[in-house]
């Protein structure tokens, strides 16, 4: 490679690593694996070494990749939180040890010992204590300046709020989410049709960097402490001694720390951690080799980005070949139909893999997968098995194409894929796979509002076979409900009253409760107002529905498709027989003072929730929007109104205080 080619490649690599570093560190949404990113960095580092004239202090080989997220206070680290130099072979570790021990000889240091630890796959943070009290916590950021995430860190149960000794100390640790908790989180997100976390590291980082600590509190964050950054009034000779002290103070110290006297023991420790990594409750992406002698560390010093007294050995991702025997489809609680690969069992990274998700139709087409293919399996982030490659050269001609089903494999209802979406969904409202979620939605506050019928009670009713569809709610007997709880007669009486009361609900609540795709409370009110009863709505055609303000062609098509199904007609008939109201209630003294006006709510109001304010606006014929535009008539600005208020001011949109809004109402 000549100089011109090298310069071009270096510039190209810098753009790539900067883009992927932003996706990883700042957005917590990586697009490539850690290994692929590491290989880009290795190539860049090698080229900069070979062509030093193209080195730049702005290259990510010379600095830490993170930035401070907007919305957080900045924290300047007294002791920089540096990253580690990565190596990818035992030979590289040996080379590092030889150079380190040569440096020891030059400084008359007779013996060098080491500590080998797990490199935890999480987000680095510094915890600061004054007189033994936890006072501040910050992310690494760019190594020099991080984000103040004190309130979020206070929600992490394994961070001690008070130490055993009243000392001033700053420690460094890795915030992470354990493997089991990560799998549970992704399972819940899949059921709720939320985007899955790419890996446990990004789940932890995204959770810690939430602007609302209440969200962080709900996430199962943990931490392992692995270093003393600064301490007042105490001195230690070795890193291992520091870790033992931190443990005594109540810190959750990295549990795997192996004391080593030479390269032979280091190599053994690296292989030992590699063998055990699959059985660990937390994810790791390497083993860290650290010089134990703290005074020798001072002599070795640091570069702008990394300490010279440590190196990180990165384990290569393990890949295995196996056969794709079959593709089956599973239906989730939200109706999403997910293809699942059934594999000939193969052991990867310590686990036997016999199946893995194929995500969606696009994934299968992108990989050009066929049933009978020989495929390459890899465990992503050491947790989720995935197909990374198809060995097309090993095809025999007996492989078969796979097509996603046109009907739900559970209930037989049409399976549809809407424009712009990757998922294919079951549309049947009585589908057993969707029944739990459909029931939870049907009884919810914004729908039929059946108080007392929570998720736990619904699950018990299903488990005992007391309900098999939505309409069965209205056939429940007092004794059946009472049997769910010890001394449950009072509870049963209240629930029966609530069920009976829901029969009198206005039509818009029933429409909302049916869970028609894209139809929320606002659209349900429009439909109830126009069609007056459920039978008229069932007969409405695409053209008629599309004429309604705020009901576009996508929503109209969804409504027509929903009411054309036998399952829907069957349910409506059962609800009518149970005595559920299917007529719109007459509106007394209709007041459309806000007709044709669009409102946007921003900030927090003193006397109303946003939902209550929106209901009042709609009651008087107006509508609400989530974004400000030239078409917005009013912005109601509460306390701590943000960017929407600024945009309204720039566009010249009328801005109302809460008091002015109340005047308009009165």
Helix 455-463, helix 435-443: angle, nearest 10: 140
- Least confident piece of the model among 191-200, 352-361, 604-613: 191-200
Topology of domain 598-665, CATH: Rossmann fold (3.40.50)
Would you state the pLDDT for residue 154? 93
Where are the domain boundaries for CATH 2.40.50.140 in the chain? 319-394
With cut-offs at 50, 70 and 90, classify the pLDDT of residue 257. very high
Dmax over Cα atoms in the chain, in whole Å?
95
Whether the Cβ atoms of residue 273 and residue 116 lie closer than 8 Å to each other: yes
Nearest residue to 450 via CA among 484, 483, 476 = 476
Query: Can you tell me the distance from the alpha carbon of 269 to that of 384, in angstroms, rounded to the nearest whole number?
Result: 26
| pLDDT at residue number 517 | 87
Q: Is the distance from CB of 143 to CB of 77 less than 8 angstroms?
A: yes
pLDDT at 288: 97
111 or 6, which is more confident? 111
Q: How far apart are the first and last CA of the chain?
A: 78
> Residue 607's pLDDT is what?
85
Mean pLDDT of 217-243: 94
In angstroms, the Cα distances linking 331 to 185, 301, 471 are 18, 57, 22
> What pLDDT does 589 receive?
54
**Mean pLDDT (whole number) for 510-535:** 92
Bridge partners of 453?
A: none
Write down the pLDDT at residue 63: 58
Q: CATH 3.40.50.10190 region(s) of the chain?
A: 598-665
Residue 348, judged by CB atoms within 10 A of its CB (0-12, 13-18, 19+), counts as buried
Quote helix, strand, coil % in the chain, to nearest 5.
40, 20, 40
Higher pLDDT, residue 488 or 506: 506
User: In this predicted structure, what is the pLDDT of residue 188?
Assistant: 82
Identify the pLDDT of residue 585. Answer: 87
DSSP H helix total and E strand total for the chain: 24, 22
Angle value at C-alpha 375, between 378 and 89, nearest 5 degrees:
40
Facing residues of 426 across strands? 415
Residue 65 confidence (pLDDT): 56
Average pLDDT value for residue range 627-655: 90
Here the tokens at position 418 are 């809407």
Q: What is the mean pLDDT of the chain?
A: 89
Averaged pLDDT, 347-368 = 86
pLDDT, mean of residues 389-406: 94
pLDDT in tens, 177-219: 998 898 888 888 877 767 777 778 888 888 898 888 888 888 9
pTM for this one?
0.57
DSSP 484-536: TSTT-HHHHHHHHHHHHHHTT--HHHHHHHTT-TT--HHHHHHHHHHH-BHHH
Least confident of 372-376, 571-575, 661-665: 661-665
Which residues lie closer than 8 Å to 63 by C-beta, 6 or more apart? Answer: 57, 142, 143, 304, 305
Q: Is the pLDDT of residue 266 over 90?
A: yes
Q: Please give the pLDDT value at position 505.
A: 96
**25 pLDDT above the threshold of 70:** no
* Residue ranges of the chain assigned to CATH 1.10.150.20: 435-577
At CB < 8 A and 24+ separation, what contacts does 14-21 make?
14/44, 14/56, 14/59, 14/60, 16/40, 17/41, 17/44, 17/60, 17/65, 18/60, 18/65, 21/60, 21/65, 21/66
Higher-pLDDT residue of 652 and 211 is 652
Question: What are the pLDDT digits (tens) for 95-129?
Answer: 999 999 999 999 999 899 999 999 998 999 999 99
pLDDT tens digits, one per residue of 311-348: 999 987 778 899 999 999 989 877 899 999 999 998 87
> φ, ψ for residue 493 (rounded to 5)?
-60, -45
The answer to whether 229 and 172 have CB atoms below 8 angstroms apart is yes
Q: CATH 3.30.470.30 in the chain: give the residue spans.
A: 74-313
Binning pLDDT at 50, 70 and 90, where does residue 544 land?
Answer: confident
Pick the CATH number of 3-54 from 1.10.287.3510, 3.30.565.10, 1.10.287.610, 3.40.1190.20: 1.10.287.610
Which residues does 539 contact at the CB level (< 8 Å), separation at least 6? Answer: none
- Choose the most confident range, by mean pLDDT, from 282-286, 576-580, 616-620: 576-580
Tell me the C-alpha distance between 519 and 536, whole Å: 17
Strand partners, 462: none
Query: Looking at residue 381, what is its pLDDT?
Result: 52
Please tell me the distance from the alpha carbon of residue 177 to that of residue 218, in angstroms, as a whole number. Answer: 12
Rounded percentage of the chain residues whose pLDDT exceeds 70: 95
CATH (one of 3.40.50.300, 3.30.470.30, 3.40.190.10, 3.65.10.10) for 74-313? 3.30.470.30
Sorting pLDDT into bands at 50, 70 and 90, what band is 527? very high
- Rounded Cα distance between 436 and 334, Å, is 9
CATH code of the domain occupying 435-577: 1.10.150.20
Q: What CATH code is assigned to 319-394?
A: 2.40.50.140
Supply the residues annotated as catalytic. 119
Helix axes 3-21, 34-50, angle to 10 degrees: 150
Q: Are 380 and 199 in contact (CB under 8 A)?
A: yes
Q: pLDDT tens, 37-83?
A: 778 888 888 888 888 888 787 777 775 655 555 668 899 999 999 99
């Amino acid at each position: 490679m000549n100089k011109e080619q090298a310069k071009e490649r270096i510039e190209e690599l810098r753009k790539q690593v900067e883009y992927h570093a932003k996706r990883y560190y700042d957005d917590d949404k990586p697009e490539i694996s850690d290994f692929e990113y590491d290989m880009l960095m290795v190539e860049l580092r090698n080229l900069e070494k070979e062509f030093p004239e193209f080195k730049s202090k702005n290259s990510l080989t010379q600095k830490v990749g993170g930035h401070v997220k907007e919305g957080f206070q900045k924290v300047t680290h007294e002791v920089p939180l540096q990253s580690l130099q990565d190596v990818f072979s035992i030979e590289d570790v040996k080379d590092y040890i030889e150079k380190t021990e040569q440096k020891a000889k030059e400084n008359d240091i007779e013996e060098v010992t080491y500590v080998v630890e797990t490199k935890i796959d999480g987000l680095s943070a510094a915890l600061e204590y004054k007189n033994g009290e936890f006072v501040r916590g910050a992310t690494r950021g760019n190594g020099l300046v991080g984000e103040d995430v004190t309130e979020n860190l206070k929600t992490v149960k394994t961070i001690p709020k008070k130490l055993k000794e009243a000392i001033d100390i700053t420690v460094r640790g890795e915030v992470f989410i354990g493997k089991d908790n990560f799998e549970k989180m992704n399972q819940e997100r899949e059921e709720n049709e939320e985007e899955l976390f790419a890996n446990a590291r990004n789940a932890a980082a995204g959770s810690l960097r939430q602007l609302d600590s209440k969200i962080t509190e709900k996430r199962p964050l943990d931490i392992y402490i692995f270093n003393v950054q600064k301490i007042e009034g105490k001195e230690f000779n070795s890193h291992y001694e520091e870790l033992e002290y931190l443990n005594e103070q109540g810190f959750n110290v990295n549990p795997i720390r192996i004391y080593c006297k030479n390269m032979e023991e280091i190599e053994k420790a690296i292989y030992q951690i590699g063998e055990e990594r699959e059985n660990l409750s937390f994810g790791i992406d390497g083993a860290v080799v650290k010089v134990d002698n703290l005074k020798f560390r001072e002599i070795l010093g640091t570069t702008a980005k990394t300490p010279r007294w440590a190196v990180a050995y990165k384990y290569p991702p393990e890949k295995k070949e196996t056969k794709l025997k079959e593709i089956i489809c599973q239906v989730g609680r939200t109706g999403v139909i997910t293809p699942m690969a059934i594999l000939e069992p193969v052991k990867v990274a310590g686990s036997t893999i016999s199946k893995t998700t194929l995500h969606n139709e696009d994934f299968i087409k992108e990989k050009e997968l066929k049933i009978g293919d020989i495929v390459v399996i890899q465990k992503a982030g050491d947790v989720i098995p995935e197909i990374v490659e198809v060995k097309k050269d090993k095809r025999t001609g007996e492989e078969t194409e796979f097509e996603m089903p046109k009907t739900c494999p559970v209930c037989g209802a049409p399976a549809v894929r809407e424009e712009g979406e990757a998922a294919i969904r079951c549309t049947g409202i009585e589908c057993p796979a969707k029944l739990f979620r459909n029931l939870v939605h049907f009884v919810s506050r914004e729908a039929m509002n059946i108080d007392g019928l929570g998720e736990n009670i619904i699950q018990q009713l299903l488990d005992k076979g007391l309900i098999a569809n939505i309409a069965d709610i209205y056939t429940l007997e007092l004794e059946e409900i009472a049997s769910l709880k010890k001394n449950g007669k009072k509870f049963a009486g209240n629930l029966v009253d609530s069920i009976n009361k829901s029969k009198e609900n206005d039509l818009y609540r029933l429409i909302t409760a049916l869970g028609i795709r894209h139809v929320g409370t606002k659209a349900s009110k429009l439909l109830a107002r126009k069609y007056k009863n459920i039978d008229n709505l069932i007969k409405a055609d695409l053209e008629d529905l599309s004429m309604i303000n705020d009901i576009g062609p996508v929503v109209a098509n969804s409504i027509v498709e929903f009411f054309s199904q036998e399952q829907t007609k069957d349910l409506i008939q059962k609800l009518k027989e149970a005595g559920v109201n299917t007529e719109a209630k007459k509106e007394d003294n209709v007041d459309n003072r806000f007709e044709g006006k669009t409102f946007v709510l921003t900030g927090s109001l003193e006397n109303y929730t946003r939902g209550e304010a929106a209901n009042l606006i709609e009651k008087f014929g107006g509508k609400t929007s989530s974004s400000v535009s030239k078409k917005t008539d009013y912005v109601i600005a509460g306390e701590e109104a943000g960017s929407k208020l600024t945009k309204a001011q720039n566009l010249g949109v009328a801005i109302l205080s809460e008091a002015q809004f109340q005047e308009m109402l009165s």
